Amino acid sequence: MTTPIKTVISQKILKKEVLEGDLCTGCGACVGLCPYQVIYHDRTVQLHTCDLENGKCYDFCPRTSTDLNELRNMLFDAGDLTPETGAVKGYYFSRATDRQLREDAQHGGTVTALMELALFEGLIDSAIVSARDQEFVQNGVVVKDEAALRKNAGSKFTVSPTVAAFNRLAATKEAGKIGVVATPCQALALAKMKLKAVKEDRGKIDQLKLVIGLYCGWAFAAQKFKELMGQNDIELESIAGMDIPAGKNSLEIYTGNGTKSFPLSDAQACIRSACNYCLDSTAEYADISVGAARFGDSWEEMRHWNQMIVRTGKGRNLIELAIKRGVLEVRNAPAESLRQLKNVAGEKKKEALKNIIRKSGSAKNLLYLDRHDPVVRRFLAK
């Protein structure tokens, strides 16, 4: 009698290993592909079981196994790769030349300035960014003009299922050329789509023309953050922005009633569990990565600037165009600044690997990572 072969359903594995394993980043890569998975606030919910053995939801998730070295070789020039921060074709300090944009956006306004330029020049037809409602719930939105970009500028510090918006837009006939502002996990999901797309989906992912990544050490779980604000009598709709000033070890919340500051330890209690197992703090799979300029001169001097890593030829061309059009002020960052950034990024990798080993119980079981990957192997040895 022949023993029946047991079918392995990828969605069930995704649920067990990622959703129930506290690895879900809330990026939205598995949403918008079929009706069976949705985002509820910042949680991914499976509404019905799918019977596909090889589902896209599993393939595109940034917390399922993949050949990261193959991804690096596909996207970047080998000579630009560094173990700490990924590909570095250029490293700069930058800010928008538009003073009002700098005031409205986060730090130097570099991300918004670049997306505005890409839209104006026709490099993209639509930009996907994160938008927040009055309840502090975030979603990815499609914008096509400067006003909408500026309205949604600034860091939110909570999870947005941005890739779900890409999935929805890419499936339409009017999608055109798409640019995405992405956190590290979102940028990885988009890169996995390029690597793993089957023939019939090739046209969809080929519409992705630009990824601008955001530095990210962690994100808040929405419910925990709401509770922290409630305990301190801060109404969510009053929050205009937030930041972590360099050297102050605190979270600043900017409201209509002024600035309120919290010890960073209080804020860290709200961090999403999945962030503890992430190695990437500089959006290594983007064309350009942007963060606060924390390394260099004094914080008051640098808080109105960004630091920027150019990773691809496409990214370099956009920066050169931004300088030529006069929308971005760019200066070479000192080597010491890059060294400090690499140190911080390397520490993030080492800490994440420790957490993964603690969770799995073995250095031979790194959950979604391959222990033979050259970057993983390097930081395991430290």
**pLDDT, tens only, 134-190:** 666 788 899 999 898 998 887 777 888 999 999 999 988 778 999 999 999 999 999
pTM for this one?
0.93
Say if residue 1's pLDDT is above 60.
no
Top mean pLDDT of 102-111, 153-162, 281-290 is at 281-290
List of residues 6+ apart from 303 with CB closer than 8 A: 107, 243, 245, 246, 292, 293
The DSSP string of 136-160 is: S-EEEEEE-SHHHHHHT-S---B--
* 319 or 55: which leads in pLDDT: 319
φ/ψ region of 135 (left if φ > 0, alpha if ψ in -120 to 50, else beta) reads alpha
Among all chains, which residue has been given the structure tokens 């509404």?
47
Q: What are phi and psi of 293, to 5 degrees?
A: -85, 80
Question: SS3 for 72?
Answer: helix
Between CA 57 and CA 192 the distance in angstroms is 11
Query: What confidence tier does 50 reach under pLDDT thresholds 50, 70, 90?
Result: confident
Give the Cα separation of 266 and 250 in Å (integer): 9
Q: How far apart are CA 132 and CA 178, in angstroms?
A: 21
**C-alpha radius of gyration, the chain, whole number:** 20
100's torsion region: left (phi>0), alpha (psi -120 to 50) or beta?
A: alpha
Q: Is the model more confident about 200 or about 208?
A: 208
Cβ atoms of 309 and 289 closer than 8 Å: yes
Comparing 116-125, 260-269, 352-361, 369-378, the range with the smallest average pLDDT is 260-269
